[in-house]
Structure 1
Amino acid sequence: MSEHPLELSTRIIDSGVADTPPNRITEELSELADGVAIVESFSHVVLVDTGDGIVAFDSSSAKTGPRVVESMRSWTDAPVNTLVYTHGHMDHVGGSRDFAADAAANDRPTPRVLGHERVVPRFERYEATNGYNQVINLRQFGGAARTVAAAAERPFIPSRTLRPDTTYDTRLTERIGDLEFEFNACLGETDDHTWTWIPERKMISAGDQFIWNFPNCGNPQKVQRYPLEWARSLRDMADRDVELFVPAHGLPIAGHERIRRCLLTVATTLETLVEQVVTAMNAGAQLDEIVHGVSVPDETLRLPYLRPMYDEPEFVIRNIWRLYGGWWDGNPARLKPPADAAVGAEIAALAGGVDTLVARAVELSVAGDHRLACQVIEYAAAAEPESHAVHDARATIYSARRAVETSLMAKGIFRSATADSEFAVSGEAPEVKMVLSIGEA
């Protein structure tokens, strides 16, 4: 049995040192309080015994759902009364079919599914953009996007995923068994998020509003995220008389002051980042100036629950710009730009040929100027997209860049670029290692 999650989180937060990953996928169940347990999975499943059945928060993914149910049944034989979706991401809802199967196997009704009213439109959007979601998930974990054609035929939403049958708009309070549950809607990583206050347990189920990493508020491949509303939800949580705080990724946290300190630090970090970006926008700065001029202090990013190992501030800055300023970055040449192939061909002609660009890109990469190296090799690839020599260099350059990145988002996309070039040379898709532990890419 691994170290108890509450003991581990207390040690990490109080020492300020994360000497072991706080995001664990053990499939083990730990009891957090009387009648409260967590199965650490991807994502976690939080179980609350109401005296009249179990309320489960999230169901984990389609791959991990069976083991979650198995761990739950090692703890209790009680029926699952309600399955709460903290939001509609597939790693939170995909295992719902296993909860349904468990109920059927025990001749019980399928659990009621409760979620925000925007969960169902999210599922509908996923169905409409099925192929795109297959592409971005393959890319996020470093796969060759060129090979996605077959994967795009598979359904992104796992078969038999349960849809919510109880939805709400802003807030819903229900008494289930012996406990009151206050379900609160909030914006943040998603527009369909629910965090839940259980006053008799002095407990909050937070979903992904706290993930033991820099907030996932800038994912470059996903739809709009909401930093100020995210911060507001954290402040709302901190104002409760909470003693047990349980996120869907990362460790649960015990103790009111410890919980409050963590939540308010993350809230302040998001608020400050928004203030800096909007102030620069109001002064007429373009996106390029803001991306390279606004930052989060290093000491903040060293906190064990704010490290940029999944998302990172640079991506959040771009998301803030998109939220307040639209898609155009302020550079007039990029309002209606030429095709990448035309730019690549022109740059290659000016440089004296693609070979010159490749040589310079490699030189820049060796010198550690990875941003410029990648841009130069992209000019070469745009000019001669079928060149094996270009793709050999491109694969090497992006592999070097991935090695110095911290966030899973950046590592995955740069590994995908490497994989695409390897596929262009060999015709064989490299194996993709799915990284399930957030921040370990």
Structure 2
Amino acid sequence: MPAHPDLIAQNAQFAKKIHQLSDSVYSAVGYAASNVHFLVGKAGIVLIDTTETTQAAENILNDFRAHSDLPITTIIYTHSHRDHISGATVFAEGREVEVIASDNFTSDLVGVDETRPAPNKALMARTKRHFGISLRPDERISVGVGPGDRPMKGMGAGYIEPTLRVSETTRITREGFDLELTKAPGETPDHIVVWLASQKTLFCGDNFYHAFPNLYAIRGTPYRDFDAWADTMDQLMDFEPEILAPGHTQPVIGAEAIRAALTDYRDAIRYVVSKTVEGMNAGLDPVTIAADLKLPEHLASKPYLQEFYGDVGYASRAYFAGTLGWFDGNPTSLAELPPAVEAAKIIALAGGAEAVLAAARTALSGNDAQWAMELADRLIACNQHKAEASQLKIEALRHIADFTVNAPTRNYYLLSARELEESLG
């Protein structure tokens, strides 16, 4: 299946390799969606993050043993996302290990209150689409910040609960390394970064990676604090690192290159905020603001701000909802008709289901796939020409997927198309 050539080119960021960043620091990249970092001391190893599955962890550890056979004694979680905490038991190799995280670390792997209502089924369905889980390797080009073809056995299975929780800035010495652990909210509120001053190396978790930041994930997430994330970029620059080891994609080497990347990342986030606020204050709705919002050329041209993972429009809509809520300001929206009711009225106004179906076919043949989907959705909602409308939507989803540079969007469209196809029997 075709894919956007820029998205295919992004796979260079996930070339499978254990990078040696210095005499004692290594980063495993490309084995899974997220990276794993090894700090090799004289008697043991400090590990930063543990990847997403036990199988990926086994593969990483097996290859890393060519560099050192010392035991891993300390594990540091930069944050609580599953792709960073799910291989810990593999790296522990049956030993008791120290596990360090922030004091507000919260994982959905433990301590879940099953008595309270939660949209778990909806989240799992959307997560599956977001990451393209169950798509064929040739369909799932990547996940934007990690390879598409990667081991999925043992997802979430290797988590170990933290034994030490740190707040604000905490200085520790482990295996001969003097480390500074600092709270640095970004993609999650519980982020910490790890600073190895002796080697000018900063492990930044998911606060930076080689793609526009995922300020809103279409799998469904609570509001991510845009301003805090932008402020964290200044915090990271204050360390003046010469090596930046992110939670996804390749390391960044060189003080000037790192400062430029972090500055642009910060400015891109703040630009989305400022332009969205400008639209809000002008009384515009979130869809209109997002449709018109583009990064300025000096930012849009940067390779690490391409929308392989995050999306500028999605971010703008999330900021609107996170600050003003779901209401777009138009009083008509306060008692908006349910989709099935609205669809029936629009279909009648258009001259009937046959006319709408014909218009959807015309739109698709004219490469207006988005409009074709919107018309098809109205027919599906009313159960009128549902099979034909569903087939049109499947074709439209696959058409748009071929042209999108955003990996989660591509994955979501392709898997949604397959699910709809399977529902038709």
Specify if TM > 0.5: yes
Cα deviation digits, residues 249-299 of structure 1 (max 9, x gap): 111111111111111111111112111111222333322331123221345
Aligned equivalent of 2:24? 35
Aligned equivalent of 1:301? 300
1:99 partner letter: F
Indicate whether 1:205 and 2:197 are aligned.
Answer: no
Gaps of 5+ in 1: 1-17, 146-154, 427-441
Q: 2:99 aligns with which of 113, 122, 126?
A: 113
Q: 1:77 aligns with which of 69, 77, 84?
A: 69
Distance, in Å, in 2 between the alignment partners of 1:190 and 1:385 is 43
Cα deviation digits, residues 370-395 of structure 1 (max 9, x gap): 33222111111111178221211111
1:120 partner letter: T
Aligned equivalent of 1:390? 389
CA separation of 1:20 and 1:186: change in aligned 2, threshold 3 A: closer
Percent of aligned pairs sharing the same letter: 23
Indicate the RMSD between aligned Cα atoms, in angstroms: 2.5
Give the match's secondary structure for 1:368: coil
Gaps of 5+ in 2: 1-7, 136-152
User: Is the 2:100–2:163 contact (alpha carbons within 8 Å) kept by the matching residues of 1?
Assistant: yes
Distance, in Å, in 2 between the alignment partners of 1:326 and 1:246 is 36
Give the match's secondary structure for 2:37: strand
CA separation of 1:413 and 1:320: change in aligned 2, threshold 3 A: same
Cα deviation digits, residues 117-166 of structure 1 (max 9, x gap): 23235445877554333212212134699xxxxxxxxx997234211111
Quote the offset at 1:20 in angstroms: 6.0
Q: Mapping of 1:57-72 within 5 angstroms?
A: 57-62=48-53, 63-72=55-64
Aligned equivalent of 1:137? 127
Q: 1:167 aligns with which of 149, 161, 165?
A: 165
User: Is the 1:57–1:84 contact (alpha carbons within 8 Å) kept by the matching residues of 2?
Assistant: yes
Aligned equivalent of 2:368? 369
CA separation of 1:142 and 1:60: change in aligned 2, threshold 3 A: closer
2:212 partner letter: F
Quote the offset at 1:56 in angstroms: 0.8
Count of paired positions: 393
Aligned equivalent of 1:148? none
Aligned equivalent of 1:269? 268
- TM-score, normalised on structure 1? 0.83
Q: Mapping of 1:154-303 within 5 angstroms?
A: 158-220=156-218, 221-303=220-302
Distance, in Å, in 2 between the alignment partners of 1:389 and 1:24 is 40
Quote the offset at 1:36 in angstroms: 0.4
CA separation of 1:336 and 1:57: change in aligned 2, threshold 3 A: farther
User: Is the 1:142–1:419 contact (alpha carbons within 8 Å) kept by the matching residues of 2?
Assistant: no
1:35 partner letter: S
Distance, in Å, in 1 between the alignment partners of 2:330 and 2:49 is 43
2:324 partner letter: G
Cα deviation digits, residues 2-54 of structure 1 (max 9, x gap): xxxxxxxxxxxxxxxx966343152x322110100011132110111233421
Distance, in Å, in 1 between the alignment partners of 2:251 and 2:397 is 36
2:360 partner letter: A
2:248 partner letter: H
User: Is the 2:283–2:329 contact (alpha carbons within 8 Å) kept by the matching residues of 1?
Assistant: no
CA separation of 1:344 and 1:416: change in aligned 2, threshold 3 A: farther
Cα deviation digits, residues 223-257 of structure 1 (max 9, x gap): 21122211211111112231111001111111111
Cα deviation digits, residues 297-353 of structure 1 (max 9, x gap): 345233211110112100110111122111222233333322222122222222233
Quote the offset at 1:399 in angstroms: 1.2
Q: Mapping of 1:88-103 within 5 angstroms?
A: 88-100=80-92, 102=93
User: Is the 2:20–2:27 contact (alpha carbons within 8 Å) kept by the matching residues of 1?
Assistant: yes
Distance, in Å, in 2 between the alignment partners of 1:325 and 1:136 is 24
Q: 1:87 aligns with which of 79, 82, 88?
A: 79
CA separation of 1:312 and 1:256: change in aligned 2, threshold 3 A: same
Distance, in Å, in 2 between the alignment partners of 1:125 and 1:307 is 37
User: Is the 2:372–2:393 contact (alpha carbons within 8 Å) kept by the matching residues of 1?
Assistant: no
User: Is the 1:126–1:133 contact (alpha carbons within 8 Å) kept by the matching residues of 2?
Assistant: no
User: Is the 2:186–2:229 contact (alpha carbons within 8 Å) kept by the matching residues of 1?
Assistant: yes
